[in-house]
Amino acid sequence: MNLVLALTIGVLYACGVWLLLQRSLSRIVIGLAMLGHGANLLLLAAGGPAGTPPIAGSDPATTADPLPQALALTAIVITFGVSAFLLALAYRSWLQRRDDEVEDDVEANRIAAALRALDADREAREARAVAEQEGGA
Amino acid sequence: MGDLLPLLIGVPLVGAAVSLLLNDHARAQRALGGVVLSTQLALSVALLVAVWDGSTLTARLGGWEPSIGIVLAADPLAAMLLVVAALMLVAVLVYAIGSPRTNDTAPYFHPVYLTLAAGVSASFLAGDLFNLFVAFEIMLVSSYVLITLGGSRDQVRHGMTYVVISLLASTLFVTAIGLLYAATGTVNMALLAEALQGIDPALRTALGLLLLVVFGIKAAIFPLFQWLPDSYPTAPSPVTAVFAGLLTKVGVYAIMRTQTLLFPTDGASTVLLWIAGLTMVVGVLGAIAQNDVKRILSFHIVSQIGYMIMGVALFSFAGIAGAVLYIIHHIIVKTTLFLVAGIVETSTGTAQLRRLGGMLHRAPLYAVLFLLPALSLAGIPPFSGFVAKLSLVQAGLAIGQGGIVAVSLAVSLLTLFSMTKIWNGVFWGAPDEPPAGEEAVGFVPAGRGMVVSTGVLVVASLAFTLAAGPLFAVSERAATVLLERTPYIEAVLGT
């Protein structure tokens, strides 16, 4: 296996995952595209070493494996189509909100608010208990 | 008979193309959708009859060898799921046409709905992993369009989550396929079943876990389910209903197929048992905390997936047969419940429990349509859920897995509790006083198409109980094909 190809695949996956974890939608879209490229190169690498073009009649021992290339072509087309849809969706989201950030999860916010309320409640009770003790003493 | 298989994918795809041309003629589109999906149903039934005795039908596209060509294969499991899926698609189409708020008149609803049908069929029939990936993509791209249909702010926000998580799963799937090909030199599942036995066990386990994560995201198992309750409730009701019934179950089907065919274990799988138990418990606890009918039902999908995984995890004939029965029961009942939620939402304008109440007096029929599948979901005899849960419990006890059986029974009780919550909030008692500053909910009877199609599905789930004997027999044959592996492998390879 080609070292440059292996390193490229690794870098594409790493950058893709890093971008996917960002809060801005445009970065997420680019991250997914990079992950897709990494996966397609991985398919190519899975086919083994390069060889002569696989034309009917040539010796199978020296030709490149055509199957992963066919798979990669299909995967590229799918990634392309879905990326276009995702970009359209991101644009729509920007048109509606004029903002590229991924919104907070409503449910998570509610839980955080409930936890804060509980904490505040407990602190108030503790403060009251301390005040009563001091008053008693 | 094998020639039937490509038709199951081709008919809805051609239908989608024609439907696209008819985009300005809503009436013709509706008729076309009905005809195509009814044909699909008839073809699926013919297929099920052909494989009823436990045989496997295959079709080699273009006559290529399985190692390089595309092979479609239908065993009893695939055929049963095809029939139920086609039944749901027809019923939901009738519902969507009869419903005023579903955007069935939105451009592209009908063509995309038909490509979704093609994707679901292709997933059940795929004989190799790469075609399973392509089938998933056909299904998912259609679902991206359907879930954001209308493009309201909420839909775009939640649709985005759904698209990004599905896309990540698809990328992982391609990665898994690349690694599998590098390790074994094939993507055909029958060939992989043999080739995987010859590779390093550690590598095999890693590949198995990677595929489990990929399908786990699609099937919404613990801890990969958070996207589901977030995105499903925002879509129009018929869309949510068909997603709830079919999409996650395609993921479960893929888990079932790959775990039994490619990564068989001796005895129960501990990893899957833990996943099953946690999925059940976390899902049902999430459902109890919700206050919106559609959100409660969405969390229940997660909880119910746990039961199916439990059957797979037991890895015995009875366990797999129970899981097959459970999937079929679940597809029918869950779709019905979402359709009822849609009826409630259409007639009152809200699905919030705190705003609803007293529907029993206004529309007793809707209450009955909800009550029967709700009791079935909780596993109360004599409904279909009872039959499915009983077979899983017996399978669990038969091989001494008392822990997971206890968890599943406790979760059933909690399911009943949260169904009671919907019953009390929506149907029982007097209408709630509206909170200050809000209008009381009105009531407009839902369309006849909506009620009739929901009623047909309720009858179908009741018929499930009556036909439980033959259904269980064919589920056992499906389980036999899955666990013995050789009949499927020999049918695909033609040896």
CB contacts of A93 in chain B (<8 Å) are: 156-157, 160
- CA quadruple B326, B142, B135, A89: dihedral sign: negative
CA-nearest of B300, B347, B329 to B443 is B347
Q: Which of A40, A68, A96 sits opposite B181 (nearest CB)?
A: A68
- Which carries the bigger pLDDT value, residue B105 or residue B489? B489
Residues B68, A40: C-beta atoms closer than 8 Å: no
**Which band of pLDDT confidence, cut at 50, 70 and 90, is reported for residue B280?**
very high
What pLDDT score was predicted for residue B149?
Answer: 81
Percent of chain B at pLDDT above 70?
96
What pLDDT score was predicted for residue B363?
Answer: 79
- Asked if the A1-53+65-103 domain carries CATH number 1.10.760.10, the reply is no
Question: What is the value of pTM for the model shown?
Answer: 0.90
Q: Half-sphere exposure of residue A109, counting CA atoms within 13 Å on the CB side?
A: 4
**Mean pLDDT score, A7-14:** 95
The CA distance from A9 to the nearest CA of chain B, in Å, is: 11
Comparing A64-68, A69-73, B4-8, B178-182, which segment has the lowest mean pLDDT?
Answer: A64-68
**Which band of pLDDT confidence, cut at 50, 70 and 90, is reported for residue B101?**
low
Q: Which of A39, A71, A89 sits opposite B171 (nearest CB)?
A: A39
**Mean pLDDT score, B171-192:** 91
Q: Where are the domains of chain A?
A: 1-53+65-103, 104-137
pLDDT at B444 > cutoff 80: no
**Mean pLDDT score, B249-255:** 93
Cα-based torsion angle of the residue sequence A94, A95, A96, A100 in order, rounded to the nearest 10 degrees: 10
Number of A to B CB contacts under 8 A, please give it. Answer: 82
Peptide bond into B445 cis (omega under 30): no
The complex scores an ipTM of: 0.84
A125 is written with which tokens? Answer: 């009770």
**Mean pLDDT score, B241-259:** 91
**Which band of pLDDT confidence, cut at 50, 70 and 90, is reported for residue B384?**
confident
**Mean pLDDT score, B358-363:** 76
Instruction: Give the helix/strand (H/E) hosting A73.
Output: helix A66-97
3-class DSSP assignment, residue A72: helix
Residues A67, B181: C-beta atoms closer than 8 Å: yes
pLDDT in tens, B19-64: 988 888 888 888 899 999 999 999 999 999 998 888 888 888 888 8
